[in-house]
Structure 1
């Protein structure tokens, strides 16, 4: 199976001392071996922020 489920977390929320938002998504390990970065909505900050893959 080439697809794996990953968790992405907001990168800006911890700097501001707020709770980070987390999303579950999937990626293809063979085509995207590096960690993914996606802009998603953070309801605690009320704006779109960069979310990076965590382990």
Structure 2
């Protein structure tokens, strides 16, 4: 049997650093570096840093 192919892109969860529990789900290349970006958090009504966490 041939080995299973792995997807080129993976789903990741971007979690707010404002500790509100709000998150975005996005995809990134498997071999790319971890994501972190400024996005809007509606719970605190401002832009905050979101960092990547695995989807369980």
Whether the TM-score (by the shorter chain) exceeds 0.5 is: yes
Tell me which structure has the larger Cα radius of gyration: 2
**TM-score, L = length of structure 1:** 0.76
Give the match for residue 8 of structure 2: 2
- CA RMSD of the aligned region, Å? 1.1
Q: Which aligned segments of 4 or more residues in structure 1 are displaced greater than 6 angstroms?
A: none
Higher relative contact order (CA 8 A, sep 6+): 1
Q: Tell me, which stretches of 5 or more residues in structure 2 are unaligned?
A: 1-6
Aligned length: 48
Give the match for residue 51 of structure 2: 52
Q: Tell me, which stretches of 5 or more residues in structure 1 are unaligned?
A: none
**TM-score, L = length of structure 2:** 0.75
